[in-house]
Structure formats: C-alpha cells, structure tokens
Amino acid sequence: MKFNENFKDIAENYLFAEVADRAAKYTAAHPDKKVLKLGIGDVTLPLAPAVISALHSAVDEMAVKESFKGYGPYEGYGFLREGIKDYYKHMGVELAADEIFVSDGAKSDLGNILDIFAKNNTVLVPDPVYPVYVDTNVMAGRKVIFANATKENGFLPMPDYKVEADVIYICSPNNPTGAAYSVEQLAEWVKYAREKGAVILYDAAYESFISEEGLARSIYQAEGAKECAIEFCSFSKTAGFTGTRCGYTVIPHALESNGFSANKLWFRRQATKFNGVPYIIQRGAAAVFTAEGQAQIKENLAVYKRNAAVIAECMDGLGIWYTGGKNSPYIWLKCPDDMGSWQFFDLLLNEAQVVGTPGAGFGKNGEGFFRLTAFGSKDTTAEAVERIKRVLKNR
Ligand code: PLP
C-alpha cells in the first residue's frame, strides 16, 4: 500500500489549523491573558428564531411514525430547492429546481466537484484566495496556475487571453480580500471561459454581504454564464450555519462538454458518495427564505457589518492601508512597517493578544497583508480594536 504522494506538495497544516494551534500554544503559556479571536471566519451570533422554530418542528416530525423521514433525496428536498430557486428569482436569475443541489456546505462541494473533471485539466486560481481550491487540486495531482490579485488591480484579476486554463475559480466577494466583481467584470470572465471551453467554479459564500450597487450576487447575472459556470453557496455566513451545516451548488443543464452534462455527472457522483443533508437541517435552512427569516438574518448581517466598520475606523485612525469590509465580513490590511504576515501575526498575538489571519496563508500575493474578521461579537471587536490601537500607536 502507498499513500497519495501529492500530500507532500501541500502545507503540513491547513492554514486555520495552524492559526488555532499557535493561539492555543500562546494561551497555554499565558493562562492569565485573554486572547481575542478575529482569525478564523466563524460566526458568533445564534441562529435566527425562525430557523430555530423550524428545526424544533422538524425534530417533532421525526418523533411521529407518520411524519418520520429516513434517507432523503441525494440532491435535497423539493421544499428547500424551491426556496433557493425563488431566492435566485429575486436576483433576476431563473433556475430550474433540478439545477440546485443541496449539500452539507460549500467546502465539501468545492472539493468534491473535482470528481467530475478530468485529471489533466489546468486549474486557474486567484492568489490570494481561500486555500481549499489549491489544496484540493494539489491533492488530486492537478496543475495549478495563478491569477495575480494585487493592490494594483484592486485584488480583482481580469482574464488574460494568453493564459490557457480549463477550470477557473472565482471567489466573490473574495475571502480574504473582500473584493467583489461587478456584473460587467464577471461577463468578461464568462466570455473568456466560453472562448477557452473552460468552466468557472464560482464561490458565492459571501454574496449576502454585498451592499454596493452593481456588484454581482450570482455569476448567472452575467449573460452566458449558465453555459460555463457552477455556483457554490452556503448558509454558513449568510445565516450562521457554520456548525449546523447546509449549502447548495447550482449546476445549470446548459453546462455541457464532450457529450457530458455537468448536472448529470454531479447527480451521479452525489448518488454514489453522498446520502443527503438531514431533513431537520433542510427544514431549518428553508426557514431562512421566509419573510421572517430574511428580516432576522439581515439584522445579524448588520451587526457584522457594523463590526467591519469599527475595524475600518481603527485602521483609518492608525493610517494603515486596508480594503474590504463593505461587501464582505473581512478587512484586508497592509501590515505596518513592511512587516511580514506571520511577523505581524506574532506581534498582535504577543502584544495585543489578538488573533488574526496572516495573508501569506492565502497565497504568495498575500505576504505582507493580514485579515481581520468582523464575525466577532460587538464587545470582542471593540476590545480588540482598542488593544490594536494601543500596540500600534506606540510603534
Ligand atoms: N467558501 C469560502 C470562500 C469560505 O470562506 C468558506 C468558509 O470560510 C467556505 C466556502 C466554506 O463554507 P461552508 O461552511 O459552507 O463549508
């Protein structure tokens, strides 16, 4: 027996595991210090009351023979797929319910989708970005090339026709930079993908944070995208489902190549390797789309957006360059005094007891940058900001 050699080519620790490890070591060595975490992008507000009530009712249904549910459909229950379909309709995107696949979250689907693509595809990934795209492809032995996202291009790389790619990742609003594409910019990517016969894997996990006009909430707002794009979305950041686990992937019927339909391949893959999301959880997720659910999740999103504004004000006061925070829960800042990302991480941890995420962990262009999340509680964010001010003002 031999293990997969490709694991040699990925970092030993997943970025957020490394951040958590360093923070845990610090806490063990300094038990008297209170460490504030603005590192991993996990939510802190509880589920909306409408979701909780739907979860309770679903639990009660499971207690009665007549309404008990065993295995559900691999692709998700109709009631949730219809809810998602209507949500898209409000964005001006018409989907068929069977183009929507419910899952236990975007991370699994983003990794698992690679099962339907040939190994010899060349993969184009923005740098910096959510590390899952690179790691999953490297594990599978695929060639990965990068599209540089820099301060100069507003962290929004545009297509370069000299570059040949088969699978293109786009994350908008972007984790970690918070940059978000406009519909027109996505239309350029769609044009490029169609010309190259490529597929776009579009990660819309943060779409609900978009607040500026003209920015895309779905790649299908760009014409022609149904022929070349798969969209991944999640209830994690939108509705606080990071621990509850539910997401969805959209694969239009129009996406076809060499005689195969991507939708059919994915259905076949899921039927073989996935047994669906629990009924109870899908009922909770469906409640997100009720009028009550929508109003309640918007209140939570407003709390996170306010936190982002508090962090942004702090950076303004310190004269530190940053971007993001408006259409995403992340503030992406330039480490002061030309410090490296991990150097700045250690400084904040040791001197302010604040944990952030080093930009270098998201790709080489992330070196010298740092990500702070707005997902902390209001009090944690306010205290972290005061500590950062105290430490950085005296430098
Ligand atoms: N996509 C991006 C860009 C993310 O930042 C995250 C989580 O941080 C995910 C996907 C994973 O989402 P889920 O919780 O649905 O697996």
CA of 323 from ligand 1 middle (Å) equals: 20
Residue of 107, 249, 327, 332 best suited for mutating to test ligand 1, as the one with most atoms within 8 Å of CB: 107
Mean pLDDT, rounded, for 43-57? 97
Q: Which atom of ligand 1 is nearest to the CA of 206?
A: 3
Is the C-beta atom of 171 inside 6 A of ligand 1?
Answer: yes
pLDDT at 12 over 80: no
Is the C-beta atom of 242 inside 6 A of ligand 1?
Answer: yes
Q: What pLDDT does residue 84 have?
A: 98
Tens of pLDDT, residue by residue over 328-352, are 999 999 999 999 999 999 999 999 9
Which contiguous run of DSSP H or E holds residue 195?
helix 183-196
Cβ-contact 335, 341 below 8 angstroms: yes
Tokens of 383: 């205290």
pTM for the predicted model, two decimal places: 0.96
Strands 322-324 and 330-334: antiparallel
Look over the chain and give the mean of its residue pLDDT values, rounded to a whole number. Answer: 96
Is the C-beta atom of 207 inside 6 A of ligand 1?
Answer: no
Q: What pLDDT does residue 17 have?
A: 86
What is the rounded CA–CA span in Å between residue 64 and residue 1?
A: 48
Mean pLDDT, rounded, for 367-372? 97
Is the C-beta atom of 180 inside 6 A of ligand 1?
Answer: no
Is the C-beta atom of 105 inside 6 A of ligand 1?
Answer: yes
What is the rounded CA–CA span in Å between residue 143 and residue 165?
A: 10
Max CA separation in the chain (angstroms): 68
Mean pLDDT, rounded, for 21-42? 93
pLDDT at 55 over 90: yes
Q: CA gyration radius for the chain?
A: 21
CA of 365 from ligand 1 middle (Å) equals: 20
Tokens of 76: 């998700």
Tens of pLDDT, residue by residue over 177-229, are 999 999 999 999 999 999 999 999 999 999 999 999 999 999 999 999 999 99
Phi and psi for 27 in degrees, rounded to 5?
-65, -40
pLDDT at 13 over 80: no
Q: Which residues does residue 36 pair with via DSSP β-bridges, in sequence order?
A: 354
Percent with pLDDT over 70 in the chain: 100
Task: Name which of 120, 130, 144 is nearest 14 in CA terms.
Answer: 130
CB within 8 Å of 388: residues ≥ 6 apart: 314, 318, 348, 352, 354
Task: Name the residue at shortest CA distance from atom 8 of ligand 1.
Answer: 41
Task: Name the residue at shortest CA distance from atom 11 of ligand 1.
Answer: 107
Residue of 236, 244, 248 best suited for mutating to test ligand 1, as the one with most atoms within 8 Å of CB: 236
Phi and psi for 255 in degrees, rounded to 5?
-85, 105
Mean pLDDT, rounded, for 80-92? 97
Tokens of 63: 């207690």
Strands 330-334 and 369-373: antiparallel
Q: What pLDDT does residue 18 have?
A: 86
Q: Which residues does residue 102 pair with via DSSP β-bridges, in sequence order?
A: 248
Mean pLDDT, rounded, for 308-332? 96
Percent with pLDDT over 90 in the chain: 96
Is the C-beta atom of 130 inside 6 A of ligand 1?
Answer: yes
Q: What pLDDT does residue 250 have?
A: 98
pLDDT at 14 over 80: no
Q: How far is CA 204 from CA 25, 52, 137, 220, in A?
A: 34, 24, 19, 11
39-43, 78-82, 318-322: lowest mean pLDDT where? 39-43
